[in-house]
Amino acid sequence: MAYTAQLNKNVSVRTLKTLKLKGEKFVTVALYDAPMAAMAQRCGVQVVLVGDSLGMTVLGYDSTIPVTMEQMIYHVEAVARGNSKSLIIGDLPFMTYATPEQAMTNAARIMQAGANMVKLEGGSWLAETVNMLSERGIPVCAHLGLTPQSVNKFGGFRVQGREQEQAKKMARDARVLADAGADLLVLECVPSELAAKITKNISIPTVGIGAGQDTDAQVLVINDILGLTETPPRFSKNFLVDAADIPSALQQFVEDVRERRFPEVQHTFD
Active-site residues, by number, are 188
Q: Are 219 and 29 in contact (CB under 8 A)?
A: yes
∠ CA 248-210-220, nearest 5°, is 30
Classify burial at 244, counting beta carbons within 10 Å of its beta carbon; exposed 0-12, middle 13-18, buried 19 or more.
exposed
Q: What do you get for the CA distance between the two ends of the chain, in Å?
A: 39
Contacts of 21 by beta carbon, 8 Å cutoff, 6+ apart:
none
Smallest CA-to-CA distance from 121 within 173, 159, 68 is with 173
